[in-house]
Amino acid sequence: MADYFYTPVLSKPDHVAEIPDLVDKHGITSFKLRLHTKAGEHIWDIWHTMKVKAMHYYHDGMVYSAMKAIAKLGPPAILCMHCENWEIAYVRRAELMAQGRQDPAAWDDMSPPFCEAGHIRTYSYYAKVTGCPILIRHTTCEESFEEILKARAEGVNITGNTNPHYLTIDKNIWRTNVPHRDPATLPKIWDAIKNGVIDTISSDSIYRAMSLETIEKWEKEHGPIAEVGAKYPHPIFAGAGEISRDAMAGRTEGLLYIMLSEGVNKGRISLERLVQVCCENPARKFGIFPKKGLIAVGSDADFTVVDLEKNMKLTRDHVFNSNGWSIWEGRQIKGWPVMTILRGNVMMDWPDGEAKRRIVGKPIGRYLARRLGDQADLLD
């Protein structure tokens, strides 16, 4: 239903050796390091999937090699990084468990802002040494913004990124990685978008999330998730059985209406800034501009028509993701996408008077192979 490209995760040294082939044979120019998984088997009891997927321990030598290999490619090659020091978080987790902490905010206390900012400081320095362009995924706090600005001042090619859930959900309500932060931090993330520290917004949506069945079972006992949510006390570090985790699905479909409703219509950012950070800048950074991210002759005819006045409470009925529920249920959303057009084809529309949007297009999404040398990395 959409055009797409891949950003593969490098999780062991063999993967670095595959970079030239990924570029030549598959048109891949972006790569990701999940730096929190560096800790390897120490975190497997928390993230069992990493054991299943054989996400092995890796070290800074691999990070260095990856940066050198990506720098050598030239634009638009870029390294995305999940910055969160879980070698420290793991130690703090044991302390918090010993204290008997069960509140949702314990997840933030386990992996506080310095764990995120510390990685940015360290790896932006190595990016400077190697000349590797980097994009810091899902930044959430002032400490990180300061490190991004410092790195930029030193000449590092560094892009800031965040996601709508960090802008709208605080640490007392839900958990994810990196953690949601203090309520007082949320306006500061909006400011970072407005003042240019954060250049790009993405969804961080992934397929894995709790099923509707799990949610409905929980709701029978405790009440609607939209009203009670994760404020209900529960063993946050226990793993199975808890409710406040894996609200990953539905973030792609939520991205634009959250940015319109909470950002533009509440006066936090302009509509023009929304288009820059959600559309133009990601296209430039990932080597698909001006085919994507621009309205011009010769670019793809991709458009989203929005109705800034459309005002409706988000219910489960509006949700299209396969899990069937959304972390933003119950919110009053003012400003909705009402038509999506992919290369001239209407994929989604919302006729006047209808209760919700509908998917009308056929699946015509194409893979976007990228090429070295394509214009990419010139933010105005």
Residues that bind Zn ion (CB under 5 A): 82, 137
Q: Which two tokens stand for residue 363?
A: 């699946």
Q: Is 82 helix (H, G, I), strand (E, B) or coil?
A: strand
Q: Which two tokens stand for residue 231?
A: 């404020």
Taking the CA of residue 79 as centre, how many other CA atoms within 13 Å lie in the half-sphere pointing to its CB? 35
- Residue with Cβ nearer Zn ion (101 or 119): 119
- Residue with Cβ nearer Zn ion (179 or 337): 179
- Point out which residues pair with 138 in neighbouring strands: none
- Residue with Cβ nearer Zn ion (52 or 98): 52
CB of 166 to Zn ion, least distance (A): 12
Phi and psi dihedrals of 163, rounded to 5? Answer: -130, 155
Contact criterion met (CB below 8 Å) for 313 and 332: yes
- Residue with Cβ nearer Zn ion (86 or 257): 86
Q: Is 14 helix (H, G, I), strand (E, B) or coil?
A: helix
CB of 165 to Zn ion, least distance (A): 12
CB of 34 to Zn ion, least distance (A): 6
CB of 216 to Zn ion, least distance (A): 28
CB of 82 to Zn ion, least distance (A): 3
Give me the residue whose beta carbon is nearest to Zn ion.
82
CB of 351 to Zn ion, least distance (A): 37
- Residue with Cβ nearer Zn ion (70 or 135): 135
Which H/E stretch holds residue 340?
A: strand 332-342
CB of 160 to Zn ion, least distance (A): 14
Measured CA to CA, the distance from residue 157 to residue 123 in angstroms comes to: 12
DSSP 296-336: STTS---EEEEEEEEEEE--GGG--STT---TTTT-EEEEE
- Residue with Cβ nearer Zn ion (15 or 137): 137
- Residue with Cβ nearer Zn ion (137 or 292): 137
- Residue with Cβ nearer Zn ion (137 or 318): 137
Measured CA to CA, the distance from residue 308 to residue 135 in angstroms comes to: 30
Measured CA to CA, the distance from residue 169 to residue 162 in angstroms comes to: 13
Q: Which two tokens stand for residue 55?
A: 């996400």
CB of 112 to Zn ion, least distance (A): 17
Instruction: Tell me how crowded residue 346 is: count the other CB atoms within 10 A of its CB.
Output: 13
Measured CA to CA, the distance from residue 108 to residue 172 in angstroms comes to: 9
Which residues have C-beta within 8 Å of that of residue 346, sequence separation ≥ 6? 339, 340, 360, 361
